[in-house]
Structure 1
Amino acid sequence: MSQNLETLSQALLEAATRAGADAADAIAVQGTSLSIDVREGQLEQAERSEGMDLGLRVFVGQRQANVSVSDSRPETMATMAERAVAMAREAPEDNYIGLAAPDQLATDWDIAAFELADPSAEPDPATLQADALAAETAAQAVNGVSQVQSATAGYSHTGVHIAASNGFSGGYERTSRATYCTAIAGTGDSMERDYDGDGRVFQSDLRAPADIGKSAGDRAVERLNARQPTTGSYPVLFDERISSSLIGHLLAAVNGSSVARGSSWLREKLGEQVLPAALSLVENPHRPRVSASRPFDGEGLATQKRNIVENGVLTGWTLDLVNARKLGMTSTANASRGVSSPPSPSTWNVSMTQGEKSREDLLRDMGTGLLVTSLIGSTINPNTGDYSRGAAGFWVENGELTYAVNECTIAGNLNDMLTGLIPANDARAHLSRVVPSLLVEGMTLAGN
């Protein structure tokens, strides 16, 4: 697969040169995916897709254009390049665009060390169906579960190759194997729904389907007889399942694209405290068997470990080449590239410092408040950090879970919320965002 993609990406560059481009980069992506859904013990849906997509970005002076196609015939690539060059000639000039300098490029990497692709054979549909059925059966066996909304098992294999006229050429393959289950408990207006799932690079690392199904059923039953909490100001504990969303808001605010536009609530916070002094946020794109790992970014720069936040202090932005130039900085090798658009900044694997206490310890210490296990909708002001989201979970009284909660809203300001975080020690190490349960000591709850 990889050699074919390399040949195609080089052919795109040659077509761009013949069409009159001053410079160009190309990406070739080839993938296979298989998904099996079951319902009530029977196969409900089976989907398989195979395809190839090609993307080409051309430069004519300080003008650029991007085109994509799913046809790899030489005549199609030639037409694609000609249209891209014609589009670029009509585009506005941009002094910040351009490929990386040759001395910025990644030149040596050990792709095997990243373990991005499981070498074992693609699972057959019967194997995936058996996994989905096992998850569904386990969920149905939970007392109180009225039905299983969905049980799915899937697999994907993707190859990527990027090449550019500055001399860069590199590619890799990825695999993904996943099982998910959603269960419903109760009947009529009192029905509640919850889910569980697991996705891994290697099949051998995947949790047992029966474990996933039982967990989904247990979670759905626990949410029965939910009610609204009393409106007021309370501590809120974000469960590990959804706590990474809080850090996701921070990562969005340090994205160089937002900062360059002046639309980030952290735009004036570089070098200042944004998390408690004991906490750091570390990006490591070289972790093996993790979905967001990669040896180079979408512009051919070598990825590297970096501290986004160190001991509570924001150390830098997440940058690709264009936004680094706009801000007078250096790219952090965080360019993400698809076939249909130019590169843009994105974050790879991120890990947050864990605390010394368990989630149960934090529940005990918080006294009275809300454990949030599900978030609904989002109203986040990117300029001010004002935060408001629908939430569901469990009411905590005297440090113990007392009843399920739904139909409430939690609100605050991200700057205040993040600087006062208290982390637990329950983060799952295999995720691309390793974030434990997080306690925010004061938020506004709107209930009844």
Structure 2
Amino acid sequence: MALADPLSLEPLDAPLTALIDHALAAGADAADALGLYGRAASITVRGGELEDIDNSEGFDIGLRVMVGQRQACVSSSDLSSGAIQRLAERAVAMAKLAPEDPYCGLAPQDRLSPRRSGDGLDLFDPTILLPAELKTRALEAEAAALAIPGVRQAEGAQASFAWSAVRLRTSAGFDGGYAASRHGVSVSAVAERDGSMERDYDHDGTRWLSDLRTPEDVGREAGERAVARLGATSMSSAALPIIFDRRVSASLVGALIGAISGNAVARGVSFLKDDLGATLFPSNIQIIEDPLRRRGLSSRPFDGEGIETGEFEIIKNGGLSSWLMNTSAARQLGLESTGHGARGLSSPPGISTSNVALMAGDESPEALIAKAGHGLFVREMFGPSLNPTTGDYSVGVSGFLIENGVRSHPVSEVTIAGNLRDVFASLIPGSDLHYEHETNAPTVLVEGLTIAGR
């Protein structure tokens, strides 16, 4: 293990300046340029032996140009001066032939973030893990999984680390960037009993190595989860309370985020397109985004268009507070951007969130199980399907039957289905919220879903 100097954004300075200068010289009215640096390494082991090693490093640049109300986006990994000039000229030529988009353009000057770096967010850990150290960590995770009685094999254990740097520059004078890191460990375990086999997994990812769970803990959890699934059967079809484990409950929040995206609302393809200000959840439900969370997995000092970010109430006291909008969607809806622009290298800004969480309730997962009485505890989901215009939802699941208020035998090969409006309206959050992903939720109890089994 070694420490390195924090990533410098300086290597991205000259290419981004040149991209914009060449674009303006070629006839663009406005332009923005994005530069990315990435360095990543991962080691995968299986059966105590090295299975795969991945090591990558490189720079990428992207350019968006606007000629009147027409725009085009291009990208490249070639940072030579001649390639940059040709890239800019090609982008302008493409924009002149593109259809008009009355909503395209740079973010308004008065909305640009005064915060231009990641200072205070603590996103970059300078710790480097060498390949030998990554292999050791992967082997430790695998060994911990195999040590659980009933585990037959591990389907692969992986340890990884990555560095990244992002810099955004616009022809209107915005220039900001930040560096970030990520450490991870994961393992998949297979358990067997009487010829029956079940698989499960566990993983963890953090900005700083010191915050990462130990490989032994991750491996042990994967093994115990796999063994717990042995003997799984289907169950009778019924309309019962459903409890979503913390590992999968965030998918419900993700479905909400997609439905309140300004792009979906502007196109009229969201089942919530007429519900701004409406009560969707019980009055104690809060869903809050915090892009400035220290060491957050998706923290960012500004959005993909340079607009200021900050804590944002998506659901307040059960009611829908706002759409999620970038500049284009806001113009189309006659509103202002909410700082949710997400810039890609070769596409116009999309919409994304940062560190969203369904806030915790007062009851433990065990108390929710007791409250359910007879129902289904969902541990894993497969192939979710959502009709975005109606909210009809279905997904294959596995987990455990709940009987007499306690978790009972394992269940698989069942599907749950219903409408998300009913799910949202009945949701009860547990007390076990952890910020483990970009979107987070505690264990939740919901009604309004039907179980289709045998």
Aligned to 1:216: 222
What do the CA deviations read for 1:90-130 (whole angstroms, capped 9, x no partner)? 0011111111222221123562211111133x110111111
Does 2:84 match 1:93?
no
Please tell me whether the aligned partners of residues 22 and 60 of structure 1 are also in contact (alpha carbons under 8 angstroms).
yes
**Partner-residue secondary structure (3-state), 2:402:** strand
Distance 1:72 1:110 in 2: 23
Q: Counterpart of 1:114 in 2: which secondary structure? A: coil
Aligned to 2:3: none
Aligned to 1:309: 315
Alignment-derived partner of residue 208 in structure 2:
202
Aligned residues: 447
> Is structure 2 residue 351 aligned with structure 1 residue 345?
yes
RMSD over equivalenced CA pairs, Å: 1.1
Q: Which residue of 1 aligns with 2:165?
A: 159
TM-fit CA distance, 1:409: 0.4
The question of whether the paired residues in 2 share the 8 Å contact of 1:101 and 1:166 is answered with no
2:23 to 16, 26, 31: 16
Structure 1 match to 2:4: none
2: distance between equivalents of 1:344 and 1:431? 20
Three-state SS of the structure 2 residue aligned to 1:111 is coil
Distance 1:53 1:189, change over 3 A: farther
What is aligned with 2:9?
2
| 1:57 lines up with 2:64 in the alignment | yes
Q: Which amino acid aligns with 1:196?
A: D
Structure 2 residue 330 is the aligned partner of structure 1 residue 332: no
Other-structure match for 1:241: 247
**Partner residue, 1:68:** 75
- Specify the alignment match of 1:78 in structure 2: 85
**TM-score, length-normalised on structure 2?**
0.97
Q: Distance in 2 between matches of 1:107 and 1:424?
A: 37
The separation in 2 between residues aligned to 1:188 and 1:117, in whole angstroms, is 48
Deviation at residue 243 of structure 1 after TM alignment: 0.2
Cα deviation 1:245-303 (Å, max 9, x = unaligned): 01110111011111111000110110101111111111110001011111101111111
- Is 2:65–2:95's contact at 8 Å kept on the other side of the alignment? yes
The amino acid of 1:38's aligned partner reads: V
Distance in 2 of aligned mates of 1:96 and 1:136: 52
Secondary structure of the structure 1 residue equivalent to 2:178 = strand
Distance 1:92 1:281 in 2: 38
Structure 1 residue 135 displacement after superposition: 0.3
Q: Percent identity?
A: 46
Structure 2 runs not aligned, ≥5 long? 1-7
User: What is residue 405 of structure 1 aligned with on the other side?
Assistant: 411
SS of corresponding position for 1:375 = strand
Counterpart of 1:45, as a letter, is D
Query: Which aligned segments of 4 or more residues in structure 1 are displaced greater than 6 angstroms?
Result: none
- Deviation of 1:211 (Å): 0.5
Whole-angstrom CA distance in 1 between matches of 2:407 and 2:284: 28
Residue of structure 1 aligned with 2:198, choices 192, 214, 234: 192
CA offsets, 1:120-155, max 9 Å, x none? 3x1101111111000000000100001000100001
The one of 99, 117, 126 equivalent to 1:119 is 126
**Counterparts of 2:11 and 2:257 in 1: how far apart (Å)?**
36
8 A contact 2:20–2:171 mirrored in 1: yes
CA distance in 1, matches of 2:24, 2:344: 21
Which residue in 2 is equivalent to 1:228?
A: 234
Give ranges in structure 1 of 5+ residues lacking alignment.
none
Aligned residue type for 2:95: A
- What is the match of residue 171 of structure 1? 177
More displaced, 101-110 or 240-249?
101-110
Q: Which residue of 1 aligns with 2:434?
A: 428
Asked whether the 8 Å contact 2:382–2:397 carries over to 1, the reply is: yes
What SS is found at the alignment partner of 2:45?
Answer: strand
Measured in 1, the distance between the counterparts of 2:363 and 2:108 equals 47
Structure 1 position 6, deviation (Å): 2.2
Letter in structure 2 aligned against 1:3:
E
State how far apart, in whole Å, the 2-side matches of 1:356 and 1:23 are.
51
1:216, distance to aligned residue in structure 2 (A): 0.2
1:286 aligns with 2:292: yes
